[in-house]
A and B are shown apart, each in its own frame.
Chain A
């Protein structure tokens, strides 16, 4: 089945640093999404990407939809303590509504 790969499993950065996360797939997706999950909560949508090559920003977050439609990256600039959480990428083929999620990257920010 379809799989999204996120690595490493955990990242540790200093407050104020930038961080970049990648997500790759062996399958093509027509929509890429990035979610953040806090402990005990559901995922919250950060950025949605609908076109290959698209670069989209949301505050300190920037994400790009890879030109091959098989990858995406998320950048967080000038990290702050509340950026701590698990970041998931998700892909959608478009023919149906289900999302395929990666396993997530746990981000820790040292003050």
Chain B
């Protein structure tokens, strides 16, 4: 039973390029959460999605960032026109039902984005 799969593990982008981060939830999980971790910081919530719906995007920057979780395929976190401050580890988590952590909130290994 595979865990939450994120790819790529490492991503290098030049300033101004686009970054696309992918997350495949655990089998049977239909809720996906994205978090960002800056060096020596805790994880900060970005967005919570169910299949084809954004439930809570209160942690998403207003510009350049978007997320989707289509009916088929992985969840995608998209960062347009990346800047150096976007360099961070981005983690995805999934859960089988809402109220995430109460039912087992499983994190992936993350994508480490470096903007040069």
Contacts and interface: CB of A to CB of B under 8 A. Distances in A.
Interface of A: 4, 9, 31, 33, 40-45, 48, 50, 88, 90, 92, 94, 96-104
Interface in B72-108: 91, 93, 95, 98-102, 104-108
Interface of B: 4, 31, 33, 35, 40-45, 48, 55-56, 58-59, 91, 93, 95, 98-102, 104-110
A76 B48 CA distance: 32
Given A40-B109, A42-B108, A99 B102 contact: no
Contacts of B55: 96-97
A97 B43 CA distance: 14
Secondary structure class of chain A's binding surface, majority of residues:
loop
A97 B42 contact: no
Contacts of B107: 42-44
B101 A103 contact: no
Contacts of A98: 33, 45, 48, 56, 58-59, 100
Given A31-B102, A43-B91, 17 more contacts: A9-B40, A31-B101, A42-B110, A48-B102, A50-B102, A96-B48, A97-B31, A97-B99, A97-B105, A98-B58, A99-B43, A99-B100, A99-B101, A101-B44, A103-B42, A104-B40, A104-B41
Contacts of A44: 107
7 contacts: A31-B101, A31-B102, A40-B109, A41-B109, A42-B107, A42-B110, A104-B40
B105 to A, nearest CB: 7
B42 to A, nearest CB: 3
B101 A48 contact: yes
A46 B99 CA distance: 18
Contact of A88 (B43, B95, B102): B43
